[in-house]
């Protein structure tokens, strides 16, 4: 009996956010399908493979930075569940300013990558290490790498948007599961899923 108790106690806890994502993937406008639609639109817009390459890098970085803001919002909601709806409203109101900030950060990071890790000084210097791993695939012109990154980050963004603006307002109790670990694990689950699905396309 004690062995059974210990086994149950040590079983990994299921991340409730995973169910949100997999439920989403069962609908027609799922995050992954929307990410693929976005990617296909980008391919149509690009006039050359080189232009597509840069579109993918720029958009993937922008989306990744935006996802970080989403994560911060979710953690804050988890720590202050009584103010959930107010926090979401404030986040929405700050959208234009946030996008300008992210656009500037993305451009600084892109310059860092284009200059092979050299930077004369910018507002994002202390965070360049976050994108240093992109220098090697950039040097190689590895469009497959950035395609995968783009699709993965788009899938994460669409998932987080749905969670924040659709799920939470109708189920504020879910905020209790917004620990930093759950959110990070959820993001990794989504990325791994998108990576696998993209390889099948």
Question: Which residues neighbour 183 within 8 Å (Cβ) at sequence distance 6 or greater?
Answer: 17, 71, 74, 75, 78
Query: Residue 123: what pLDDT?
Result: 67
- Using a pLDDT cut of 70, give the percent of the chain over it: 90
Q: Which two tokens stand for residue 190?
A: 């989504």
Query: Residue 4: what pLDDT?
Result: 40
Q: Is residue 35 scored above 50 in pLDDT?
A: yes
State the chain's mean pLDDT as an integer.
Answer: 86
Query: Residue 9: what pLDDT?
Result: 47
Query: Residue 124: what pLDDT?
Result: 67
DSSP for 165-186? IIIHHH-GGGGGG--HHHHHHH
Domain coordinates in residue numbering, the chain: 17-200
Query: Residue 5: what pLDDT?
Result: 37
Q: In the predicted model, what is the mean pLDDT of residues 158-182?
A: 92
Residue 143, H or E segment: helix 143-162
Packing angle, helices 180-200 and 31-45, rounded to 10: 60
Q: Is residue 7 scored above 60 in pLDDT?
A: no
Q: In the predicted model, what is the mean pLDDT of residues 99-119?
A: 83
Q: Is the pTM of this model over 0.85?
A: yes
Q: Are 112 and 119 in contact (CB under 8 A)?
A: yes
Backbone angles phi, psi at 46, to 5 degrees: -70, 135
pLDDT tens, position by position, 47-102: 999 999 999 999 998 999 999 999 999 999 999 988 999 999 999 999 899 999 88
pLDDT tens, position by position, 38-54: 999 999 999 999 999 99
Confidence category of residue 2, pLDDT binned at 50, 70, 90: very low
Q: In the predicted model, what is the mean pLDDT of residues 134-158?
A: 92
Query: Residue 127: what pLDDT?
Result: 66
């Amino acid at each position: 009996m004690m062995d059974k108790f210990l086994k149950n106690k040590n079983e990994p806890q299921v991340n409730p956010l995973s169910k949100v994502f997999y439920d989403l993937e069962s609908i027609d406008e799922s995050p992954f399908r929307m990410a693929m639609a976005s990617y296909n639109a980008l391919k149509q817009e690009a006039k050359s493979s080189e232009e597509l390459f840069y579109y993918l890098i720029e958009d993937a970085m922008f989306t990744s930075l935006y996802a970080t803001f989403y994560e911060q919002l979710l953690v804050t909601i988890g720590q202050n569940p009584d103010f959930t709806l107010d926090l979401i409203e404030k986040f929405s109101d700050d959208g234009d300013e946030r996008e300008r900030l992210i656009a500037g950060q993305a451009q600084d990071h892109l310059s860092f990558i284009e200059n092979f890790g050299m930077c004369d000084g910018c507002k994002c210097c202390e965070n360049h290490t976050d994108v240093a791993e992109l220098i090697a695939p950039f040097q190689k012109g590895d469009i497959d790498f950035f395609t995968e990154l783009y699709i993965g980050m788009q899938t994460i963004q669409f998932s987080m948007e749905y969670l924040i603006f659709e799920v939470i307002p109708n189920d504020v109790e879910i905020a209790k599961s917004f620990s930093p670990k759950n959110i990070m694990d959820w993001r990794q689950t989504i990325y791994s899923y998108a990576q696998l699905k993209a390889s099948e396309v």
